[in-house]
Structure 1
């Protein structure tokens, strides 16, 4: 018996259902139910929320979320081998777990969830960043979710919380910090997983802000940031000259030196530049 419910230990579940992790699906299973319960707690009070989980695998975090009192969990799992193991969890928590066997990139979770909604997941490495960018760039803000509690490779986690001046600072940091409050809340070594990945992992908690931190048109800001960091070694007057013939005037108006490079510029200044271009 496990410590959080009356279901079998995860190693036993994996053996029973022959769930050897597949590299092609970006699978690395976290088997310690104490750790999965801790991650669930890092998502905050779940008792009044529906929770979206992507890539539950054998269900370690799923069990943690339900044991921590999640009102309801929607688990989207691409690997059909994992569905019978997840169904056993659904039987233990009647009416609280819905399982969809499909690709999270193709499923509209809003057809199955009721607000308020939180997202908690040990994201598959191969789609984690793409999903995060989607959640950070919806057509309207605030988004459908209140918070994200997500596991990434530690390098990706560091990029999300990075500050100006370092190589980790880039588009992902700006996207995350413009509309959320992101924090690294937990780090895990490779040996916590089966099979152990080649890198360490970290859990990032992102709380949605009611409005973006600084005013800017999302499309313009995205265009500016993409152009700036696509040529991050160039001075901004060169990297951004395709955006506007008078780019140096706009840079001055935003308080940015034309000779600076992208990684030196704060989010507030990028937003000011986007507003100047729109004006």
Structure 2
């Protein structure tokens, strides 16, 4: 019998360790092990991969990842209250779980992982977007990860997969889709969590591309896109006027009308503009 069958139900684990979710840590726990296993399956075959999990809490998703055959799980948990519950899981799966009590924003997890690596996490809401951007913008590409399977608020998930012309389209969509295939794989209602959040959630699956879709300098692209969407209601000739005195000419050279607004500009055009910012016309 596998370890997941001998461990107690998550509600009992939470009660035994007094693990009430803390809003200050962005915690909302998934207690349905059928659901956590379903999320783990979204990541594909885990048998030959190390899995990075950020914010495992009492370990519901951790147990799902192990049950679905993850070679090894590195669980990074900031909340010391959860460590005893995670230790119980590690004992049930000898040699397959490493738990580190740390802030994921401050830890270099790659030092504890062996390729191939997949990231699967029900991310704490208060750090989810920042972690995603870090994983999408490493100094070199391809990144350390093959895929990201991440739980977000539904609104954030929609921003990741949004297309030009939609209200959700913005910086996050450009950065995600420049270097990865992104799709919403699963939707979850508030009642799936304890405590229920005020919003729905969704699992986004991102697969790293071997190389970015269009050639350009990452830092320049980030800067251009941030400026463009910071004042998204303005025409681009106004929103980007601080980047170059001849910004209208550079927009035209990239195939963008100076009167366009950021939300109408596609990824290829943003990359062309970023390339155009690197050299004089």
CA–CA distance in structure 2, aligned partners of residues 134 and 263 of structure 1: 23
1:170 pairs with 2:201: no
CA distance in structure 2 between the aligned counterparts of 1:2 and 1:211, rounded to whole angstroms: 39
* Mapped partners of 2:238, 2:27: distance in 1: 41
1:21-40 alignment, distance < 5 Å: 21-40=21-40
Is residue 152 from structure 1 mapped to residue 149 from structure 2 by the alignment? no
Distance in 1 (alpha carbons) for counterparts of 2:235 and 2:261: 5
8 Å CA contact 1:76–1:99 kept in 2: the answer is yes
Post-superposition shift, 1:6?
Answer: 1.5
Structure 1 vs Structure 2 CA RMSD: 1.2
- The separation in 2 between residues aligned to 1:63 and 1:5, in whole angstroms, is 10
Please, what TM-score do these two structures have when normalized by structure 2? 0.98
In structure 1, the partner of 2:20 is 20
**Secondary structure in structure 1 of the residue aligned to 2:66:** helix
Offset from partner CA, 1:99-118 (integer Å, 9 cap, x none) = 00111111111111001100
**Would you say the 8 A contact 2:54–2:104 is kept in 1?**
yes
1:19: how far off?
Answer: 0.5
**Quick one: distance in 1 between partners of 2:97 and 2:254?**
49
> 1:163 and 1:228 mapped to 2: Cα distance?
16
> What is the CA–CA distance in structure 2 between the aligned matches of 1:278 and 1:104, rounded to whole Å?
33
Matched, 1:256 2:256: yes
CA contact (8 A) 1:215 1:271 kept: yes
Tell me the secondary structure at the aligned position of residue 150 of structure 1.
strand
The aligned residue for residue 201 of structure 1 is 201
Partner SS, residue 76 of structure 1: strand
Deviation at 1:4, TM superposition (A): 4.6
Consecutive unaligned residues in structure 2, runs of 5 or more: none
Q: What is the DSSP-based 3-state SS (H/G/I as helix, E as strand, rest coil) of the residue aligned with 1:129?
A: helix
Q: 1:125 is matched with which residue?
A: 125
Tell me how far apart the structure 2 counterparts of residues 126 and 238 of structure 1 sit (CA, whole Å): 32
Task: Name the counterpart of 1:230.
Answer: 230
Deviations 1:207-229 (A, max 9, x none): 00000011111111111101100
Q: Report how far residue 3 of structure 1 moved.
A: 10
Q: Output one character per residue of 1:54-96: Cα deviation in whole Å (capped at 9) or x when no partner.
A: 0000000000000111010000000000000000000000000
Q: Contact between 2:183 and 2:205, CA under 8 Å: does it hold in 1? A: yes
1:41 counterpart = 2:38: no
Distance in structure 2 (CA, Å) of the matches to 1:2 and 1:242 = 60
CA distance in 2, matches of 1:72, 1:87: 14
Describe the shift of the 1:194–1:97 C-alpha distance in structure 2 as closer, same or farther (beyond 3 A). same
Partner SS state of residue 6, structure 2: coil
Q: Runs in 1 of length 4+ with deviation above 3 angstroms?
A: 1-4
The alpha carbon displacement at 1:5 in A equals 2.4
TM-score by length of 1: 0.98
Contact 1:2 1:8 in 2 (8 A): no
Q: What SS is found at the alignment partner of 1:114?
A: coil
> 1:94 is matched with which residue?
94
Distance 1:20 1:222 in 2: 38
Residues 1:96 and 1:2: Cα distance change in structure 2 (over 3 Å): closer
